[in-house]
């Protein structure tokens, strides 16, 4: 892929210390972009920054908990202070869950909405004036669960649907302002998101119920993200099963419900069975 269009662009990436965020940071750095990287662990970010780019002047690391509004404001302010502009905001930070709603402590849904939805809202709110000035791009990394409800993931699906609704509306509001808004739905991608997923009581799952080796790699996912940004795509849905799920959900919703139930019930340790 020709990444010359990203040279010297200022790109903010949340959740940049692992998975899709880290892979995207490495890819955009190879294209010559300037990066502002956000995550809760500053030590980890700074250790990774040296690997991402040998030129420390082109990478900014900002300790950020996206569920905290002041942290998101600080991230944007520090980025503009260092680089003078923002061209692309990638709202990637997120957490998942696995439990039936009937068993779920409501604090789990609040946590997912705080990180996934409100994190996207906060970062976008403070970056928006700069993105409008640069006629830049804002990306929301969601999931197929943001198009079709995923059983055992009520909080996760709710947060991803909310992000999609928020960004779709933002796109319309700025239809004639040159702002590019992209919904990015990777489908199942190899990452630590399932290891860190919350269970019914809010504790971490600790291990993934899926074979990560059979999933799309974070690096491949990052390449699709860059391609979507280069084309200023409205929506990017990845993986064959992801695309099929979205298509079937629109045309055959009842059948899709049954197929989703059967598919997810096959997970090892699934909280529900037929």
Tell me which DSSP letter residue 217 carries: P
Tokens of 216: 């799309």
pLDDT band with cut points at 50, 70 and 90 for residue 191: low
Whole domain around residue 211: which residue ranges? 4-239
Q: Tell me the C-alpha distance between 136 and 22, whole Å.
A: 21
Percent of the chain residues past pLDDT 70, beyond the cut: 93
Residue 272, domain member (yes or no): no
pLDDT band with cut points at 50, 70 and 90 for residue 156: very high
Please tell me which residue, 257 or 266, carries the higher pLDDT value. Answer: 257
Q: Tell me the C-alpha distance between 176 and 237, whole Å.
A: 25
**HEC states along 123-134?**
HHHHHHHHHHHH
Q: Hey, CA dihedral for 75, 93, 170, 29, is it positive or negative?
A: positive
Residue 67 is inside which H or E element, if any?
none
- Looking up tokens 């993931």, which residue turns up? 153
**Least confident window among 65-74, 168-177, 213-222:** 213-222
Tokens of 178: 């040159």
Quick one: pLDDT at residue 54?
86
Residue 204, domain member (yes or no): yes
Quick one: pLDDT at residue 96?
94
Residue 258, domain member (yes or no): no
Residues 6+ apart with CB under 8 A from 119: 14, 66, 67, 72, 91, 93, 94
Residue 24, domain member (yes or no): yes
pLDDT band with cut points at 50, 70 and 90 for residue 194: very low
E strands, the chain, where?
Answer: 10-14, 34-39, 59-63, 88-91, 137-141, 180-185, 235-237
Residue 269, domain member (yes or no): no
**Least confident window among 88-102, 130-144, 196-210:** 196-210
131: CATH: 3.40.50.720
Residue 256, domain member (yes or no): no
- Give the model confidence (pLDDT) of 107-143 as tens digits: 999 999 999 999 999 999 999 999 999 999 999 999 9
Residue 222, domain member (yes or no): yes
pTM above 0.95?
A: no
Contacts 24+ apart (CB under 8 A), 244-248: 245/144, 245/147, 245/148, 246/144, 246/147, 246/148, 246/185
* Active-site entry in 156, 161, 176, 263: 156
Quick one: pLDDT at residue 146?
96
Q: How much is the mean pLDDT over the chain? A: 92
**Cβ(95)–Cβ(116) under 8 Å?**
yes
- Give the model confidence (pLDDT) of 208-262 as tens digits: 555 555 678 999 999 999 999 999 999 999 988 899 999 999 999 999 999 988 8
Q: Is 156 annotated in the active site?
A: yes
Phi, psi of 34 (to 5 degrees): -100, 135
Number of domains present in the structure of the chain: 1
Whether 102 shows a pLDDT value over 90: the answer reads yes
Average pLDDT over residues 146-168: 96
Tell me which DSSP letter residue 182 carries: E
**Cβ(123)–Cβ(169) under 8 Å?**
no
Q: Residues 20, 17, 205, CA angle at the centre, nearest 5°?
A: 80
Phi, psi of 65 (to 5 degrees): -105, 105
Residue 244, domain member (yes or no): no
Alpha helices for 10-68 (secondary structure H): 19-30, 42-52
């Amino acid at each position: 892929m020709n990444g010359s269009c990203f040279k010297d662009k200022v790109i903010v990436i949340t959740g940049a210390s692992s998975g899709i965020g880290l892979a995207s940071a490495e890819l955009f750095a190879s294209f010559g972009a300037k990066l502002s990287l956000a995550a809760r662990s500053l030590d980890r970010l700074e250790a990774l920054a040296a690997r991402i780019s040998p030129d420390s002047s082109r990478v900014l690391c900002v300790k950020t908990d996206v569920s905290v509004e002041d942290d998101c404001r600080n991230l944007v302010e520090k980025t503009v202070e260092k680089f003078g502009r923002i061209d692309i905001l990638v709202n990637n930070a997120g957490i998942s869950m696995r439990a039936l709603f009937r068993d779920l402590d409501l604090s789990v849904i609040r946590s997912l909405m705080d990180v996934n939805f409100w994190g996207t809202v906060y970062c976008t709110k403070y970056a928006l004036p700069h993105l409008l000035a640069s006629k830049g791009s804002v990306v929301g990394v969601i999931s197929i669960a943001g198009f079709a409800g995923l059983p055992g993931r009520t909080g996760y699906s709710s947060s991803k649907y909310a992000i999609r609704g928020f960004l779709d509306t933002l796109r319309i509001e700025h239809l004639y302002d040159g702002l590019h808004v992209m919904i990015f739905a990777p489908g199942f991608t190899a990452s630590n998101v399932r290891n860190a997923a919350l269970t019914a009581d809010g504790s971490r799952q600790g291990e993934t119920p899926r074979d990560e080796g059979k999933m799309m790699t974070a690096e491949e996912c990052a390449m699709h993200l860059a391609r979507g940004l280069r084309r200023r795509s409205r929506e990017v849905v990845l993986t064959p099963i992801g695309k099929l799920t979205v298509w079937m959900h629109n045309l055959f919703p009842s059948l899709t419900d049954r197929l989703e139930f059967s598919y997810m019930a096959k997970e090892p340790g699934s909280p529900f069975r037929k």
